[in-house]
Structures are given as structure tokens and as C-alpha cells.
Amino acid sequence: MSKISVNLKVWRQAGPKEKGEFKTYTVDTDTDTSFLETLDILNEQLVNNHEEPIVFDHDCREGICGMCSLYINGHPHGPATGATTCQLYMRRFKDGETITVEPWRSAAFPVIKDLMVDRNAFDKIQQAGGYVSFNCGGAQDANNLPISKINADLAMDAATCIGCGACVAACKNGSAMLFVSAKVSQFALLPQGQIERARRARAMVKKMDELGFGNCTNTGACAAECPKCISLSNIARLNREFIKAKLKD
């Protein structure tokens, strides 16, 4: 552990309709401190100086809730690959470095205050079809419903999506295709998801478009910045699911 001092260039915005600006703060921390803990230190410093603390989202701080949605030095969640902001440690930065911290930039994720954005759009997409609504009955006996190892692994990989919105923040079009494709894929690959398969794809894509997310142009920035490394192959699967659903219509 070693002490470092960094300059945090933080986006400050009093409300959704207020004009925002960057403000720079100097904070002393150490290399084994997480980025969110460093923000805690800065907020304590601001409170002691009778200044307004910085508003930012956080919850579990274990990399599984997706709340810590910060754009750090041009990367969603920061420069660490396959990690959320709460898993980012200050050893990634140099003593005296200036670190730029912003909220997600997307029309579908309006700023609430400072670094906090409204990500209810993802909840609305999920509510449109990201579930199984019929009674599946009790747990089946082992091997009673044979599922290939490949499909089981692909479904589990898709289900690791935590809905943080990094894919939207990374995309130049503000597309939510990686998120939607992960949620569609985790059900489309398993027997329990078959009955509502077509309706699910139609409803979730329709809701995504209604909420103002951009179109996917396959640049791959979403998958490159995803903290759970969700594969682009899910987007191809979503496209196939959607086309099949429309053909059924």
C-alpha cells in the first residue's frame, strides 16, 4: 500500500434540467483503495468543508448489482477489463494524475444529479418480456429435460448481464442491443423460455425502440467495455429471434 494524490475532474449537475460543468478536486488516497472508496473520501472532505457532496450510485460494491455506473477516463466503469467501478482500484492510476469522471451519456439515461442517471428504461424493457410468466411446475428430476452443455453454458453466460448500462454508454449510437440480446438469449436457449419465445423478442425490441435507444451498427464497443464480457454473438441471436417472430406474424 502506498499513498497517492489524484485530481478528480468530476461532472457536477444539480438536476436533470440544470446546466452541468466539470469541477476538479484533489484527494489523497492509497493504491489499495477502491475508486468508490476514494469518492467516499472526497465526499467526507467536501462535507467537512461545508460543500455539497457528489451524488453517485452504488449498492453491493461486489461487482454484481451494476449500480456503480461511472464513465472514467473515457471508459464505462474505468480502464479495468471485465470489472465494474467498485472493482476498480487506485493502483490503476498514477500519483498526481487527473481522472475525469462522468455519468452515462445517453438520451435514454437522463442525469438525475451529478453522476447519477435514471436507468429505469432497462427495467421497462425487462418488464416488457424478460421473464417466464407461466407455471413451470416443480423442479424436474436430473436429466429429465436434456439440455446440451453448449446451450446451458451460453444461457448462463448471457444471464451474467447485470444491466449496468455500460454497453449503452460505450455505444456511439446509445444502443441497448447487447443488454436486450443477453436477456432474450438466456431464455431462448432453455426449454422454459420456448413458449413465449416469439412474443418476448417482439415485445422487448419494441420497448427498446420506444424508449429512444439508438440502432446497433455492430462496432463492438459494447462488448469491449462490458464488465461481464457479454458476447456479441447474443446480438446475432436476438436478430434471428426477432426475424423469426416477425415471420410468424
Query: pLDDT tens digits for 67-110?
Result: 998 999 999 999 999 999 999 999 999 999 999 999 999 999 99
pTM: 0.93
The answer on pLDDT for 21 being more than 80 is yes
The answer on pLDDT for 54 being more than 90 is yes
Nearest to 238 by CA among 192, 171, 183, 191: 183
- State the pLDDT confidence band at 145, using cuts at 50, 70 and 90: confident
Give the pLDDT confidence of 25-49 residue by residue, as tens digits: 999 999 999 999 999 999 999 999 9
User: Are 63 and 53 spatial neighbours (Cβ–Cβ below 8 Å)?
Assistant: no
The answer on pLDDT for 226 being more than 90 is yes
User: Are 25 and 15 spatial neighbours (Cβ–Cβ below 8 Å)?
Assistant: no
Report the half-sphere exposure of 109 (CA within 13 A, side-chain side). Answer: 28
The answer on pLDDT for 143 being more than 80 is no
Q: Beta strands of 120-220 (E only): which ranges?
A: none
Cα–Cα distance measured from residue 220 to residue 80, given in angstroms and rounded to the nearest whole number: 17
Q: At 7, is the secondary structure helix, strand, or coil?
A: strand
* Per-residue pLDDT, 137: 75
Give the pLDDT confidence of 146-157 residue by residue, as tens digits: 889 999 999 999
Residues 6+ apart with CB under 8 A from 72: 35, 78, 79, 85, 88, 99, 100, 101, 102
